[in-house]
């Protein structure tokens, strides 16, 4: 009997893994949901805080969703007592509400430090405009582990707090009385990406827009349209239809401003290879961030996208934009709203952050340490600002854990799928400050190989760490095997803050043995806005100002220097920063305080950029 049970249990376990595997394996992300006609589900949602996950597991800690009849105890059934004897111990509609998109930490005081599960419920009616149309629910992001149910049925699961995902709901949708139940769990885990410790606030919730996308039965699901890096008159790419009529289907790509209208026919898989020649392309550049309206049309579907055509390459130690060397005048940014407290998500948030970056004189931003919302990159496209995007492989990830690798790869694939048509995005960063080891080196190298295959048009980097050259602390170098793999050699350095005092800067020289462009992806010092005094006393604005002056002089010695993104544009929340009256839960390395006040160092960097010219062609 016991043996029979054990056999049954392992069978169930395999079924479970394969079903979880199935559940985790998401549907393909719909490209350019940004421009599609959608129905927003933003607004107030009812919520239930469920630290014991009582709405997900029965008292035997078995997931309700794996049971044939999960029973009313499962929160995703949104059950209601029908008779006075019915035992239902929750009721979404009588619960408090919170705004979506946003984080629960800054919306509800009692959830400020909360890490765990919160259930959200949204009721809505929806009638399709055409009978055989399809409908998808699209989440721009939700942190961290998200289980989604519609009308009591599981749609799927998403892991990762900073990338979009969608599920088809066509067959589950009612005209009236739909209830979308979302379980969001932001518990930190060793094997997760990111892992247990980070230097940013672990905001939980449905942190970006939620919308319904209605498409024709066969629609344009995915496309990648970019300038061929090897031929500046060649627009190339791929496109895939999704639906029953995807074979041998005519797809017309038109770019009116280039007088281009070209038809292609899909193959068995519903895909086409895009091949367009034009010698009149206005290239997207910092001075002229020209975006073409690109129309994609079939007999059932039509979408438009704003795409800029530019090439980005390295040549020796130079970064070339449209074959011209540039210096990346950057700043690092965390995705916190400069307008309201908490996680940023809106166009207004993006506008404020990029306006400040432009006031600094930036032509480039490092979006740290995870993919930011799509408004940031769409606006960067319009403003002519170059972008570094990063996968949240941060500090001590579980390098040997296969699931951790799959998770990191999946998050990377999602941000690439979302932003691969954005001219502003030039660098995919694989990681930040990760300790070298065999397992780590192959983990990052595999991610880099995957990224190059998926997107051969952009550059690969990672924020590495510098070290002493041949044991000499006054000569610094990069001795990291992953430096061989990257296109751009980037590293963080904190000489004058974590590494000695500011006077050390003038004693340091560099010996970086790579003929590759070098970007200093981080440097900086903490300063409390309004605190003034002598420049040798930490936390004064004068200390931060002096550190910027000395650091800029120090790094200007680096021959291969092609850019910088100092840490950081704005003070940001971090549970690791607890110094009273100075930090109080904020990392104070911003050049601007969380209230929008510019510190003295802001003007040191602004002045440096005003005088920094682009290098001459080698
Ligand atoms: C690190 C890290 C950042 C962190 C910063 C700091 O280098 O990459 O995430 O916030 O240093 O210590 O302020």
Q: In 3-state terms, what secondary structure has residue 279? A: coil
Report CA(199)–ligand 1 centroid distance (Å): 6
**Minimum-distance ligand 1 atom for the alpha carbon of 587:** 13
Backbone torsions φ then ψ of 425, nearest 5 degrees:
-75, 115
Backbone torsions φ then ψ of 490, nearest 5 degrees:
-120, 145
Q: Which residues 6+ apart lie within 8 Å of 456 measured at CB?
A: 229
Kindly state if the Cβ of 492 falls inside 6 Å of ligand 1: yes
**Minimum-distance ligand 1 atom for the alpha carbon of 522:** 7
pLDDT class of 231 with cuts at 50, 70, 90: very high
Q: What is the pLDDT of residue 390?
A: 98
Kindly state if the Cβ of 571 falls inside 6 Å of ligand 1: no
Residue of minimum CA distance from atom 3 in ligand 1 = 199
Q: What pLDDT digit, counting tens, does each position of 54-86 carry? A: 999 999 999 999 999 999 999 999 999 999 999
Q: In 3-state terms, what secondary structure has residue 235? A: strand
Q: What is the pLDDT of residue 8?
A: 56
**Minimum-distance ligand 1 atom for the alpha carbon of 432:** 8
Kindly state if the Cβ of 390 falls inside 6 Å of ligand 1: no
Kindly state if the Cβ of 140 falls inside 6 Å of ligand 1: no
Cis ω on the peptide bond leading into residue 194 (within 30° of 0)? yes
568 neighbors 589 (Cβ within 8 angstroms): yes
Kindly state if the Cβ of 522 falls inside 6 Å of ligand 1: yes
Q: Please give the full DSSP string across 98-135, using - where no structure is assigned.
A: EEESS-STTT-GGGTT--SEEEEEEEE----SSTT-EE
pLDDT class of 11 with cuts at 50, 70, 90: low
Q: What pLDDT digit, counting tens, does each position of 307-321 carry? A: 999 999 999 999 999
Which among 618, 500, 608, 507 is positioned nearest to 559, based on CA atoms? 618
Residue 232 has pLDDT above 60, yes or no: yes
Q: What is the pLDDT of residue 613?
A: 86
Whole-model pTM: value is 0.95
In whole angstroms, what separates CA 596 from the centre of its chain? 24
Number of Cβ within 10 Å of residue 379's Cβ equals 17
Residue 431 has pLDDT above 90, yes or no: yes
pLDDT class of 17 with cuts at 50, 70, 90: very low
Kindly state if the Cβ of 199 falls inside 6 Å of ligand 1: yes
Least confident of 20-34, 38-52, 258-272: 20-34
Q: What is the pLDDT of residue 614?
A: 82
């Amino acid at each position: 009997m016991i043996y029979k049970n054990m056999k049954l249990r392992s069978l169930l376990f395999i079924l479970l893994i394969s079903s979880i595997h199935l559940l985790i394996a998401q549907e393909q992300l719909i490209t350019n949901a940004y421009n599609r006609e959608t129905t927003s589900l933003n607004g107030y949602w009812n919520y239930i805080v469920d630290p014991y996950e009582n709405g997900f597991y029965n008292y035997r800690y078995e997931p309700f969703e794996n049971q044939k009849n999960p029973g009313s105890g499962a929160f995703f059934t949104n059950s209601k007592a029908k008779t006075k004897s019915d035992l239902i111990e929750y009721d979404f509609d009588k619960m408090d509400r919170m705004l979506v998109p946003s984080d629960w930490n800054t919306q509800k005081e009692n959830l400020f430090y909360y890490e765990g599960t919160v259930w959200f419920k949204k009721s809505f009616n929806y009638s399709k405009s055409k009978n055989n149309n399809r409908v998808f629910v699209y989440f721009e992001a939700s942190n961290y582990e998200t289980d989604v149910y519609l009308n009591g049925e599981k749609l799927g699961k998403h892991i990762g707090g900073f990338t979009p995902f969608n599920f088809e709901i066509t067959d589950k949708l009612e005209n009236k009385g739909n209830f979308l139940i979302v379980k969001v769990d932001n518990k930190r885990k060793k094997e997760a990406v990111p892992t247990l410790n980070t230097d940013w606030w672990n905001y939980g919730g449905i942190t970006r827009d939620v919308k319904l996308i209605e498409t024709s039965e066969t629609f344009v699901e995915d496309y990648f349209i970019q300038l061929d890096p090897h031929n500046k008159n060649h627009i190339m790419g791929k496109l895939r239809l999704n639906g029953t009529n995807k074979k041998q289907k005519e797809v017309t790509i038109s770019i009116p401003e280039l007088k281009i209208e070209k038809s292609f026919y899909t193959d068995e898989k519903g895909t086409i290879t895009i091949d367009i020649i034009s010698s009149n392309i206005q290239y997207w550049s910092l001075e002229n961030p020209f975006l073409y309206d690109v129309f994609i049309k079939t007999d059932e579907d039509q979408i438009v996208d704003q795409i800029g055509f530019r090439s980005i390459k390295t040549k020796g130690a130079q970064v070339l934009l449209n074959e011209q060397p540039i210096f990346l005048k950057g700043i690092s940014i965390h995705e916190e709203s400069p307008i309201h407290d908490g996680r940023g998500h809106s166009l207004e948030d993006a506008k404020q952050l990029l306006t400040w970056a432009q006031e600094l004189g930036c032509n480039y931003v490092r979006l740290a340490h995870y993919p930011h919302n799509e408004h940031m990159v769409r606006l960067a496209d319009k403003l002519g600002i170059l972008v570094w995007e990063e996968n949240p492989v941060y500090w001590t990830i579980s390098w040997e854990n296969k699931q951790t690798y799959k998770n990191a790869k999946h998050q990377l694939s999602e941000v690439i799928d979302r932003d691969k048509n954005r001219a502003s995005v030039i660098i995919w960063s694989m990681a930040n400050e990760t300790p070298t080891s065999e397992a780590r080196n192959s983990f990052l190298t595999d991610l880099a190989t995957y990224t190059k295959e998926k997107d051969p048009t952009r550059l690969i980097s990672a924020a590495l760490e510098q070290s002493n050259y041949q044991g000499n602390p006054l000569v610094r170098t990069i001795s990291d095997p992953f430096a061989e793999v990257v296109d751009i050699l980037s590293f963080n350095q904190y000489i004058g803050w974590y590494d000695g005092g500011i006077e050390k800067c003038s004693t340091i020289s560099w010996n970086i043995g790579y003929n590759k462009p070098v970007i200093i992806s981080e440097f900086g010092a903490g300063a409390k806005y309004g605190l003034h005094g002598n420049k040798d006393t930490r936390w004064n604005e004068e200390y931060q100002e002096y550190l910027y002056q000395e650091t800029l002089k120090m790094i200007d010695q680096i021959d291969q220097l092609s850019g910088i993104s100092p840490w950081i544009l704005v003070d940001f929340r971090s549970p690791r920063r607890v110094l009273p009256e100075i930090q109080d839960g904020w990392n104070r390395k911003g050049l601007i305080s969380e209230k929008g006040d510019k510190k003295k160092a802001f003007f040191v960097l602004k002045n440096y950029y005003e005088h920094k010219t682009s290098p001459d062609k080698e």
